[in-house]
Amino acid sequence: MARKSDPIRERNFASVLREVFSNPGQSRKDVADAVGISAASVTSIALKLVEAKLLREASPVAAGQGRPRVPLHVDSTSHLVMGIHLGPRVTGVVLTGLDGIAHASALVPHSGFSAEQTFDVVVAEATKLVEEHAVGRHVLGTGVATGGIVDRERGIIVENSGAGWFDVHAVEQLAGRLPGPVVLDNNARAAAQHELLFGHGAQQPDFVLMVNTSDLGAVLVSDGVIRAGHSQHAGKIAHLRVSDGQFRCDCGRQGCLQTVATDEATVRCAQVAGRQDVRTYADVDRLYDAGDEQIRAIVAERDGYVARAAAVLMDLLDPGLVVIAGTPAERPETLAHVRRVVAARAGQGELAAQRVVYSSDHELSLSIFAASIMVNEVLERPLGVLESLSS
């Protein structure tokens, strides 16, 4: 049994695992020097982590006249984590390694379902995914992300207006039905966690991340720490005013980002423009790829509104980067247009524009972001993982 009451032991295990994760290929002595723990302690910790297949040893490397150094790496193949993005109409489920690379994924439609009905079909698909693709590998836990307001500490979806869910005790309802532990968070914070582990945040620990899909959200990361706000309500950008707008928002105003930048808003703009061949955002993608100039113009207009919001965040917070994740980032070639709009509207002009970047491009990016919640949980609490593997 892990000694949960020993915070120093927990911190030491986490420090060793995270150091190897961030700087793969180090020897035990390198790790000891980096984290300030004795070489003997690092050797003992590394042994346990290797035995649990959280770390692996590479082939020894000759080191002059001394003993060969043995590089350490995080073992990204022996175990898996699950990521679930609870969308308002479609949920993505993915299994990844500790390196964030997807091994298997599925999409689960549930338009019009209650939260409880959605959980039932998602759990069924997740169970099937594990049975077919885990192949004897242990799934260390499940990260769940969704839009709107999420209370991570209590495991509650406070408000996801797009799905019509309010005060849903998600972790309580999913615990025991998915690989545990189950950790719930907001889409934007999950995406920020992914950037910290695998993307821009590994080099720039001060950034603002925007998520733009069917949901909208933002999160501030300061010195590598995700800021959720006093009551975990930070990052509500849906009602930033970015246009004069013909569409009235559900808040009663016009010009809100929500009315012009979500996937559904883009579909509506196409339909208002007379494009009855557009029913879903998949149609927008298909027509865009076919070179449809009208659709490309509608997407460019949407990206311009996203850029206006990015300019506001750049002026307000002056971060090292503004990272845009979600639908716009699926088309890297559109970043130049976004930067031109930011340069025209942000106080620092071109200097601000060059600090706007797109997140990594993944077909199921939001699900992979959700999996990153659990990767981080493993890095932060490896003793709990050791305990679950030994039980």
Q: Two tokens at 150?
A: 């999420």
Please report which helix (H) or strand (E) contains residue 355, including its range: none
| pLDDT at 290 > cutoff 90 | yes
Please report which helix (H) or strand (E) contains residue 190, including its range: helix 187-198
- Please tell me the distance from the alpha carbon of residue 259 to that of residue 251, in angstroms, as a whole number: 10
Task: Look at residue 64 in the predicted model and tell me its pLDDT.
Answer: 63
The sign of the torsion formed by the CA atoms of 314, 320, 325, 330 equals: positive
Query: Concatenated DSSP letters for 259-291?
Result: HHHSHHHHHHHHHHTT-TT--SHHHHHHHHHTT
% of the chain at pLDDT higher than 90:
75
Higher pLDDT, 319 or 6: 319
Question: Do residues 135 and 104 lie in contact, with contact meaning Cβ atoms separated by under 8 Å?
Answer: no
Q: Tokens 């709107």 map to which residue?
A: 148
Task: Look at residue 158 in the predicted model and tell me its pLDDT.
Answer: 93
Task: Look at residue 250 in the predicted model and tell me its pLDDT.
Answer: 83
Q: Two tokens at 226?
A: 């995700």
- Backbone phi and psi for residue 184, each to the nearest 5 degrees, phi listed first: -110, 140
% of the chain at pLDDT higher than 70:
96
Q: Two tokens at 225?
A: 């720490």
- Please tell me the distance from the alpha carbon of residue 83 to that of residue 94, in angstroms, as a whole number: 5
Rounded average pLDDT over 179-199: 93
Task: Look at residue 10 in the predicted model and tell me its pLDDT.
Answer: 92
Q: Two tokens at 288?
A: 């865009």
27-62, pLDDT tens digit by residue? 999 999 999 999 999 999 999 999 999 999 988 787
Rounded average pLDDT over 325-341: 94
